[in-house]
Chains A and B, each alone.
Chain A
């Protein structure tokens, strides 16, 4: 391809900076010097994909290998796609601008279900046949990973393999195997058969799924000897020894999370019953404060970033948080580096931290009570009380904050009108907290944003059996909240229920959905997660045309013993534990944090010392 022409075309679209690459710390290699070319694709725009920590880790990890060159690929926005199709420009990688169809691997990270149509669109833009059956030896091996890979069934027609769990180790094993197979002249099928024996690697084509007359899975069985019946996820046990890059690409443009992200720990011990991340990323593994400081020093030096965020699923649970923050303040205050702590649970939020963080620079305050009443918070095992919330926000207001975001979910199991009223009551109490603070102490201009998302039951959670609320039901709850939240200082945001419905279809989908996905893409579905691009009608037409009922997936109550399309994947937590948690939820029974008391989720089966926190 004429790269000068590509450069010219890039100049004609909005936000050309999405397509130029060449950022500081981008890895440059001569593709001729490597055995393996890996295109790491994020099925969304640059600003979203570049904000993703997992991609940063794997990009640098693969590039540590002398025999491999990993490059980045993002979904071109509609205007760029139009030019690419008009001028016959195939999907290219940012580093070399080479077509990804020439690569050995094309890897997609699956962060959310609503990016699936973009995967198909990107394959098509790359001029790679969408269905694995139609691809030849000349095409790249299409692999996927990330949280949605745990139930990758809806993508079974399109991918060659999925990597389950943390890929820091398995990706190298996979690349070693590939190099060996390439050297021996093995074909793709031979490679995949061998790959399927690597722990954590799942090759859907080697499994046969049978359904009963109602469309429920009857069995999932390997079709080849030597292919495991159950695929166990990979876990990196020692985070201090796990690979973490000391350099990060510094984008030119403002990306969604434009800062250094330091991972305090993986996993979460809280056990919120709606939360897939809290289940699939178990067990908890922590980085030591020493290691974190070492990484922070290097990353600050190597990136020049002015903000550092301490990330994890529940940063307030990090046992060394206080000392770590103090030390970071001491080291970085002079350099005017702001610290931020996203995903703080309100019960672990302490005033001291608020003031420490404010020392450097103000960052936003977000609280996620998730449900409006204590009853419903017990159901979802969100061990947070109203007093926790009001104490935290009062502290925040006293420390000079005036803007608070509150996140809730609607459509949770057992939810009733009291729970919705509870959301409005909580908002009101936050207002009261603000006015209870001394007038000279509080900052003027109170600003409360209440956001509700619609609950999506996910695989591998205690709520994997429950039906999602119907679209109309969700909409009427949103209308109710709109009227209840009509108060001064409060702004109410809600999510598109059609999108949540579709998310629910794919979150618990089976491989038959591949046909609907393909048809929806043919009807123009892409960037479904972007409100301005989402075409719900196309999706409904697609389901209709391929003869699938989406409500079967989203709104059906499952029986205890139903075989799920994802049952042959072992994420650590057992189905028995999840069922038990579901039953406890219905009784409003609380399950303790597993740092306090082991709840027997099943992780300990995986080996001695897996749960280091206990």
Chain B
């Protein structure tokens, strides 16, 4: 049986790496005595596949993974059982059963939605952001192992909406490419905004990035990976345990 699970990664654990998160979920699956399918080979480990690894420091309410079980289990019970054994900061919100031949989440996910909070913003920030997004090209400097390179990120920004600006914070809601071919890290976007605003000392600016959801393209619509659920699962609402 194959389940697609939506879960959160909140503030308390935003600094753990993807690898640490995987290990943490594997151990929780053991604590929950979940009949998980193991990989073959010398070091068998639980068969898990993640949709789109989250960068360290980013919180999320829209994380997805794919779990294979040896024995069938009610997806709702699965979440309840797991929530009792997960550490603070991870909650399984919803699970749906999917067909065995559903392609991997990683290959399907194309976009991600984020809220970017900039604390104690420059009073002029709204104007800066408007100018920023209205550039014909948005050139970002990407630092990699082989030095840095310039690239135009404009076509990877599918939404750029200033949700709120007050003296405490500015919130920008964005939808960015997050697929295997094209992907834009929200931190790169933020750094590009900072550079555009002429801010050099980024270290002193407090900000927070929160991932709201991931999207796949299905039948001409943008839907979340839960739409991969079969039958009724697709419309079932999340209940709290």
Contact = CB atoms under 8 A, between A and B. Distances in A.
A30 B15 CA distance: 24
Interface stretch (A246-254, A451-459, A555-563): A246-254
Given A12-B203, A22-B13, A252-B24, A335 B30 contact: yes
B31 A304 contact: yes
Contacts of B89: 22
Contact of B30 (A5, A22, A306, A361): A306
B87 A17 contact: no
B81 to A, nearest CB: 13
A449 to B, nearest CB: 20
Nearest to B87: A24
A250 B43 contact: no
Interface string A4-26: 01011011100011001011100
B56 A301 contact: no
Contacts of A300: 30
A22 B20 contact: no
B44 A336 contact: yes
Given A24-B87, A336-B38, A302 B31 contact: yes
A335 B36 CA distance: 10
Given A11-B57, A17-B16, A254 B42 contact: no
Contacts of B86: 24
A464 B64 CA distance: 60
Interface in B1-46: 11-17, 19-21, 23-24, 26-31, 38, 42-45
Interface in A250-309: 250, 252-254, 300-306
Interface size class of A (residues with CB under 8 A): 20 to 34
B139 to A, nearest CB: 26
B85 interface: yes
A452 to B, nearest CB: 30
B13 A252 contact: yes
A254 B31 contact: no
Nearest to A5: B206
B15 A17 contact: yes
A326 interface: no
A306 B19 CA distance: 16
Contacts of B57: 11, 16
Interface string B201-235: 00100100000000000000000000000000000
B27 A306 contact: yes
Given A17-B20, A335-B30, A304 B85 contact: yes
A335 B44 CA distance: 11
Contacts of B17: 17, 253
Nearest to A28: B88
A16 B45 CA distance: 26
Nearest to B29: A304
Of listed A7, A335, A361, A362, residue having the most chain B CB within 10 A? A7
B63 to A, nearest CB: 15
Given A17-B17, A336-B38, A362-B42, A22 B27 contact: no
Contacts of B31: 301-304
A588 B56 CA distance: 58
Contacts of A362: 42-43
Contacts of B203: 12
Contacts of A303: 27, 31
B42 A361 contact: yes
A256 to B, nearest CB: 15
Given A252-B13, A304-B27, A335-B30, 15 more contacts: A10-B15, A11-B57, A12-B203, A16-B15, A17-B17, A20-B15, A22-B12, A252-B16, A301-B31, A302-B31, A304-B26, A304-B30, A306-B27, A361-B43, A362-B43
Closest 7 CB pairs of A and B: A304-B27, A304-B30, A16-B15, A304-B31, A24-B87, A252-B16, A252-B20
Interface of A: 5, 7-8, 10-12, 16-17, 20, 22-24, 250, 252-254, 300-306, 335-336, 361-362
11 contacts: A10-B15, A17-B16, A22-B89, A24-B28, A252-B16, A254-B19, A254-B20, A304-B27, A304-B28, A304-B30, A335-B30
